[in-house]
Structure 1
Amino acid sequence: MKKSAVTLLLPALLAVLVWMPLLFLAGGSFMGVVELTENLAPILTDSSGYASWRLLPQFPTLRPYIELLLDSPQFFVMFWNSVKLTLCILAGQFLVAVPAAWGFAQYRFPFKNFLFTLYVVLMLMPFQVMMVSSYLVLDRFSLLDTHAAIILPAVFSTFPVFIMHRFFCSIPNAVIESAALDGANKLQIFLYMGVPLGAPGILSALVLGFLEYWSLIEQPLTFLRNKTLWPLSLYLPNITADKAGLALAASVVMLIPAILVFLYGQSYLEQGIIAASVKE
């Protein structure tokens, strides 16, 4: 019994440490200007001493959220930019990555292993490595300073193909052969057998994609000069003593969609992580 309690205690402590910054963030978003100024004076002003923080506000107020949701039109513009970018990227990845992953998993063609290895190599390259070449290509096609400059490169990302490929490979050949013997053509097998049976992998890739593209920073800063096109991840008002609450409230609102998607797709996300860690 004691051993079981100790086994549960360590994960509980780690969970508290992980969630503590979010709890501080949520609590701070309900603090008033006076309380935030008092707590953060050594950081936001030239006063000496150390900053302090409370888990719960002494005098809770909704003023930061009212100011954010009613008096900050720029916030809503950037929020809908994030929605547009994320949904378009995920829809494009569904149309491109699902057939690509199915092809790599179920068909034999020349240089298949080489091409898939190339996919993996491209997946391992960070954005900084591809930034200059991507910038030149987008400039050549006059796509800079448009949302297409963010959407198109992400649509053809190799990571969702890598994730979905694992799940499509796990479909028994006997199932595919049975469908073919019953008269189903290749397109029907893909639509009515491959997609439903590979749904966990598809959803896993989409959840991972949402968590990544909802918080894009480097790509918008590189390819978008017009700030009206910026996503919500770049929204951060000047953090002064009177705007600290607004910044904290904006961070909480931005976290809500990511948390909801994570909670909904947690099981699929775990399956995707497991699939990505398995060697060929």
Structure 2
Amino acid sequence: MKKIRSASIYFLFAVIGAVILFPVLIAVILPIQDSDELERTFAPLAETGSRYVSIDYIPQYPTLKNFSKLLLYTPEFYKVFWNSILIVGSILLFQLLVAVPSAWAFAKFRFKGKELLFNLYVIFMLMPFQIMMLSQYIVLDGMHLMNTRLSIILPAIFSTFPVFLIYRGFADIPDDVADSARIDGANELQVLLHIGIPLGKSGILSCLVLSFLDLWNMVEQPLAFIKDKKLFPLSLYLPMLDIKNADIMLTAAIVTLIPAVFVFIIGQDFLEQGIIATALKE
């Protein structure tokens, strides 16, 4: 009976996994199809009839021509790719410079109003962008930063989510370790650099992974604050394409997915450790 139950659970997970991976499989298959085959596949979308799209799961004429067309003959792709790298990289760098000291202060310092302030951080973390969009728009417009990369970078630097996630890693560090370093003459910056960051790196790295995955795919912020298409990130480049550029659109989607998959694979262990640490109660 126990074996049957285990087999049923594995079968259920296999079905769920297949359903989840099916769109990814389609996204990988379509870009290696020939242009004529893609045209036949998407022909029903351009017609007014009732035919449905039919996909050949085994391409008749597999080719990498679509990738060469994107990477060699589509210069605007490199422009939006660089925009994404610049925006995401800048946000992650300055997020750490702000979030790491803030999380260390919440975890190891005692000051009046600490619990209230931390609860406010949690409340702001739970607020969706739609609630904060108008206030951010007014502030950015007053600072004359609209339609610039800084309109995306600046608000994200002070996000509360990295502070919350890194805080859990610092909170698990025994106070005696930091106190012994202070007794030996280390100042707070030295304690943070030589004790806090090395021992709390799982929370920091998991924060980097989660933040990268979120920032790499953000759509609402650049759509609301940027009007110049030359400043668009990759997340807005794909919606600009239409069915006439299906080969470029599908290939760009795969290339866009590669950095996110790479970061997730590299940081998977740290991500799991960070999530486990965040789930623990104080």
1:113-163 per-position Cα deviation (integer Å, ceiling 9, x unaligned): 111111111101111001010000001111111111100100100000000
Structure 1 residues 62, 215: CA separation in 2 closer, same or farther (over 3 Å shift)?
same
Q: Distance in 2 between matches of 1:147 and 1:166?
A: 31
Indicate the residue corresponding to 1:204 in structure 2: 206
Larger deviation, residues 57-66 vs 227-236: 57-66
For normalisation by structure 2, the TM-score amounts to: 0.94
SS at match of 1:235: helix
Which of 37, 43, 46 aligns to 1:44? It is: 46
Q: Any gaps of 5 or more consecutive residues in structure 1?
A: none
Name the residue aligned to 1:239.
242
Look up the match of 1:25.
Answer: 27
C-alpha separation in 2, matches of 1:279 and 1:159: 17
How much does 1:48 deviate? 3.4
Pairing 1:96-135 to 2, within 5 Å after superposition: 96-135=98-137
Please say if residues 209 and 271 of structure 2, whose CA atoms lie closer than 8 Å, have aligned partners that are also in contact: yes
Alignment of 1:150-169 (within 5 A): 150-169=152-171
Conserved? CA contact 1:179–1:189, under 8 Å: yes
Q: Name the CA distance, whole Å, in 2 between partners of 1:163 and 1:274.
A: 11
Counterparts of 1:48-87 in structure 2, within 5 Å, are 48-87=50-89
Identity %: 49
> What amino acid is the match of 1:272?
G
The alignment's C-alpha RMSD in Å is 1.5
1:271 aligns with 2:273: yes
What is the CA deviation profile of residues 62-91 of structure 1, one whole-angstrom value per residue up to 9, with x for unaligned ones? 221121111111111000000000100000
Contact 2:103 2:170 in 1 (8 A): yes
- The structural deviation recorded for 1:46 is 2.9
Counterpart residue type for residue 206 of structure 1: L
Shift of residue 14 of structure 1?
A: 1.9
The range that moved more, 1-10 or 33-42, is 1-10
Could you tell me whether the CA contact under 8 Å between 1:224 and 1:230 is conserved in 2? yes
- Contact residue 169 and residue 278 of structure 2 kept, 8 A: no
Choose which of 250, 261, 272 in structure 2 pairs with 1:248.
Answer: 250
Question: What is the deviation of 1:184?
Answer: 2.0
Q: Where does the alignment leave 5 or more consecutive residues of structure 2 unmatched?
A: none
Greater relative contact order, per chain length (Cα 8 Å cut-off, separation 6+): 1
One-letter code aligned to 2:274: G
1:41/1:47 contact within 8 Å kept:
no
Q: CA deviation at 1:279?
A: 4.6
Mapped to 2, the partners of 1:231 and 1:94 lie a distance apart of 22
What per-residue deviation string (whole Å, max 9, x for no partner) do you get for residues 191-245 of structure 1? Answer: 10001001000001110000011111111111111110010111125322x4212
- Structure 1 match to 2:178: 176
Paired amino acid for 1:136: I
Alignment-derived partner of residue 139 in structure 1: 141
Give the deviation of 1:274 after TM superposition.
2.9
Q: Is residue 15 from structure 1 mapped to residue 21 from structure 2 by the alignment?
A: no
What secondary structure does 2:206 align onto? helix
Counterpart-to-counterpart distance in 2, 1:171 and 1:36: 56
Do the aligned partners of 1:200 and 1:268 also contact (CA within 8 Å) in 2? yes
Render the CA deviation track for 1:253-273: whole Å, top value 9, x for unaligned: 000000000011112222233
Match of 2:231 in 1: 229
Q: Is the 8 A contact 1:31 1:57 kept in 2?
A: yes
* In 1, Cα distance between equivalents of 2:13 and 2:111: 47
Identify the range of structure 1 (261-270 vs 150-159) with the bigger mean alpha-carbon deviation. 261-270
Instruction: Between 8-17 and 223-232, report the one with greater CA deviation.
Output: 8-17
Instruction: Using the TM superposition, give the Cα deviation of residue 2 of structure 1 relative to its aligned residue in structure 2, in angstroms.
Output: 4.7
Shift, 1:33, TM fit? 2.1
Q: What amino acid does structure 2 have at the position aligned with 1:168?
A: F
Partner SS state of residue 29, structure 1: helix
Which residue identity lines up with residue 109 of structure 1 in the other structure? Answer: F
